[in-house]
Amino acid sequence: MIGTIPLTDVLLASAALFAVGLAGALLRSNAIAIFLSIEVMMNAANLALLGYGAASGTLEGQAAVFFVIAIAAAEASVGLAIFVALFRHTETIDVNKIHLLKW
Amino acid sequence: MARIVFDSAAVLTIVFAAVMVLSRHPVKGVLSVVVSFFFLAVAYVLLAAPFIAAIQVIVYAGAILVLFLFVLMLLNIRLEEVETDTRPIQRVLGGGAILLFTILLVTLLSARGAPKAVDQALATPSSGAIEPVARFVFSEYLLPFEALSVLLLAALVGAFVLVSREKRP
């Protein structure tokens, strides 16, 4: 596994993955699909962090990604609990049909 | 060699994430994100971070996305309806924002992206091991680590309170 990966490849992959996640978050109307797209964007950020960490030869990137993954677990559990409570209340998780706070 | 493997893993990650964005079936979407995150773990291994790759598979693909699947099957959500006329302006604006964002990112990266290579050979043999990472987290980041355990406990209690049906005073 000897060889080099240019940092530009890592950053381009990260940017493309982030754009895909952004597209999903903006265009989908299912709340769970939007949440999944946010997870994809978070992973794009993780990829960039690890790329810079490997390029600089320090462990800071790996430590940051470790904390991001742990916080993502907490965020996912609370977010999905909110969706379950919302579904009990309104019988849908389509974000176009939930307009309780909209004028 | 490492570059070819990394690039193909990255392309497959992006393709499966795009499958999630484009498919209207929620369970298919979650499963394609699982596959996407597996390929991302392959990319992490090539970036000399096997520990992060392991927790990507165990925590992300194994726990978080399975939680998504549990909730999807618990709620029994039908297919997303095809909506053509409800929010046309938002759709156009969303597409424009994505296009603008992609162009901005690519120009920024091609202008300022460092040509420095992630050198696999340069990395010391111990940089791939778990021990230095653990030593680093438990010395430099000990306080954030403890704060994280409190945060996870708070998330546990919060999720329980949100979904419990009992009337609270």
Q: What is the ipTM of this complex?
A: 0.89
pLDDT band at B99; cut points 50, 70, 90:
confident
Nearest chain A CA: its distance from B152 CA (Å): 6
pLDDT for position B115: 53
Q: What average pLDDT does chain A have?
A: 86
pLDDT score of B100 more than 70: yes
In a domain, A57, yes or no: yes
- Inter-chain touch B17–A80, beta carbons under 8 Å: no
How many residues are listed for chain B in this entry? 169
**Backbone φ/ψ region at B27: left (φ over 0), alpha (ψ -120 to 50), beta:** alpha
The CATH architecture of the domain made up of B1-77 is: Up-down Bundle (1.20)
Averaged pLDDT, B76-80: 67
Nearest chain B CA: its distance from A49 CA (Å): 10
Element (H, E) at A4: strand A4-6
pLDDT score of B126 more than 60: no
Averaged pLDDT, B70-77: 83
pLDDT for position A69: 94
B11, B67, B114: residue with CB nearest A77: B67
Closest chain B residue to A77 measured between Cα atoms? B159
Domain of A32 in residue numbering reads as: 7-90
pTM of the model: 0.86
Interface test with B, best of A52, A66, A78, A84 (most B CBs within 10 A): A66
What's the rounded Cα separation, in Å, for the pair A83 and A65? Answer: 26
pLDDT for position B122: 46
Read off the CATH number of the domain in which A58 is found.
1.10.287.3510
- Count how many domains chain A has: 1
pLDDT for position B42: 92
Name which of A3, A46, A101, A85 is nearest B2 in CA terms: A3
Closest chain B residue to A73 measured between Cα atoms? B64
Contacts of A31 in chain B (CB under 8 A): none
Element (H, E) at A5: strand A4-6
pLDDT for position A40: 95
Cβ(B40)–Cβ(B56) under 8 Å?
Answer: yes
In a domain, A96, yes or no: no
Cβ(B67)–Cβ(A36) under 8 Å?
Answer: no
In a domain, A95, yes or no: no
A7, A37, A73: residue with CB nearest B59: A73
pLDDT score of B125 more than 70: no
Nearest chain A CA: its distance from B169 CA (Å): 18
Nearest chain B CA: its distance from A77 CA (Å): 6
pLDDT tens string B15-39: 999 999 888 888 899 999 999 999 9
- Inter-chain touch B83–A29, beta carbons under 8 Å: yes
- Inter-chain touch B95–A29, beta carbons under 8 Å: no
Task: Work out the end-to-end distance of chain B between its first and last CA atoms, rounded to an integer number of angstroms.
Answer: 63
Chain CA centroid to CA B112, Å: 25
pLDDT for position B121: 45
In a domain, A31, yes or no: yes
Averaged pLDDT, A8-37: 88
Contacts of A61 in chain B (CB under 8 A): 49
Q: What is the 3-state secondary structure (H, E, C) of A46-86?
A: HHHHHHHHHHHCCCHHHHHHHHHHHHHHHHHHHHHHHHHHH
